[in-house]
């Protein structure tokens, strides 16, 4: 018998379309080399996920083709079709999205797909992930408020994030904090921490590419993560950060405390 999850629509169409449009508009503000690195990041992180044999090769090939074709609806409609037949969110994530990302990457390398097509395809994969109504939310959370604080990869101004961590600890939070790490090392630390609430600090607009890459990697690797962005970058690039669809952003420490409290409340409500 299908679960209650399979009795409902999985993809929130409005959120899917908004997510795809936001990432498209955001990429238009970046140099092509940065857009290439973001596409590669999505493909790499998805391809690294533990595979699940939920779909045969024909299903994956058909879905891969739908990701890059003209209609934006075909890809998510295929997800809905598989879900209606009994595929769980985990099946779709690990058995369909991950292998399809690997397929897009292989076809990009072999010149069977253009850069423009791969950009569309990765954007649709990301939009599907963001729009899943039943995401891989955290199960058991720590008994007390807990978060991971980090400066954006390769950021040189790291004092602010350390001071914020100390302040939150004074208020009873458990805070893991890292500053000065490169992208891969920082992502590995966040994943290993098992934290589902992450605060990222950045000093200014110059950090946008690194921030975008980290956020995309987190969304793919830790789907249920809640992300707050803080620092001067919020004042300098608020519209661009909004297009990344973060959960909160502020350059004010007092407001950051309130936002983190709100996000923690959201997490605990989901985990109940």
What sign does the CA torsion over 26, 27, 28, 29 have? Answer: positive
Quote the mean pLDDT of the chain: 88
Q: Convert the pLDDT of each residue in 121-162 to its tens digit.
A: 999 998 998 887 555 555 567 788 999 999 999 887 788 899
Mean pLDDT throughout 236-243?
Answer: 95
In this prediction, residue 4 carries a pLDDT of 41
In this prediction, residue 12 carries a pLDDT of 84
Confidence of residue 169 (pLDDT cuts 50, 70, 90): very high
Q: Convert the pLDDT of each residue in 140-150 to its tens digit.
A: 677 889 999 99
11: which DSSP letter?
B
Distance, in Å, from the CA atom of 20 to the CA atom of 257, rounded to the nearest integer, reads 30
Mean pLDDT throughout 199-226?
Answer: 92
Q: Domains in the chain, start-ordered, CATH in brackets?
A: 4-131 (no CATH), 146-271 (3.40.50.280)
Is pLDDT of 205 > 80? yes
Closest CA to 16 of 76, 61, 68: 76
Is pLDDT of 212 > 90? yes
In this prediction, residue 142 carries a pLDDT of 77
Is pLDDT of 175 > 80? yes
Record the pTM.
0.88
- Asked if 262 contacts 234 with a C-beta cutoff of 8 angstroms, the reply is no
Confidence of residue 272 (pLDDT cuts 50, 70, 90): low
Is pLDDT of 6 > 50? no
Q: Convert the pLDDT of each residue in 244-257 to its tens digit.
A: 989 999 999 999 99
Which residues touch 204 (CB under 8 Å, ≥6 apart)?
Answer: 231, 232, 233, 236, 237
Q: Lowest-confidence range among 8-17, 51-60, 75-84?
A: 8-17
């Amino acid at each position: 018998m299908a679960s209650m999850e399979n009795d409902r629509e999985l993809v929130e169409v409005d959120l899917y379309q908004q997510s795809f449009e936001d990432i498209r508009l955001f990429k238009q503000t970046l140099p092509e080399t940065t857009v290439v690195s973001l596409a590669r990041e999505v493909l790499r992180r998805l391809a690294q996920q533990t595979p699940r044999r939920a779909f045969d090769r024909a299903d994956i090939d058909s879905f891969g083709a739908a990701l890059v074709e003209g209609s934006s609806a075909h890809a998510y409609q295929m997800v809905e079709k598989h879900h209606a037949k009994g595929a769980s969110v985990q099946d779709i994530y690990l058995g369909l999205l991950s292998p399809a990302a690997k397929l897009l990457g292989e076809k990009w390398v072999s010149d069977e797909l253009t850069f423009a097509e791969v950009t569309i395809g990765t954007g649709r994969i990301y939009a599907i992930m963001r729009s899943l109504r039943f995401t891989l939310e955290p199960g058991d959370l720590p008994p007390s408020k807990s978060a991971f604080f980090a400066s954006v990869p390769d950021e040189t101004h790291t004092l602010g994030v350390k001071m914020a961590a100390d302040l939150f600890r004074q208020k009873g939070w458990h805070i893991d904090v890292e500053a000065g790490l490169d992208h891969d090392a920082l992502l590995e630390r966040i994943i290993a921490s098992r934290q589902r609430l992450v605060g990222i600090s950045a000093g200014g607009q110059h950090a946008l590419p690194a921030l975008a890459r980290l956020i995309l990697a987190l969304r793919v690797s830790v789907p249920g993560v809640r992300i707050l962005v803080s620092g001067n970058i919020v004042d300098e690039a608020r519209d661009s950060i909004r297009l990344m669809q973060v959960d909160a952003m502020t350059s004010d420490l007092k407001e950051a405390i309130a936002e983190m409290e709100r996000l923690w409340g959201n997490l605990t409500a989901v985990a109940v």
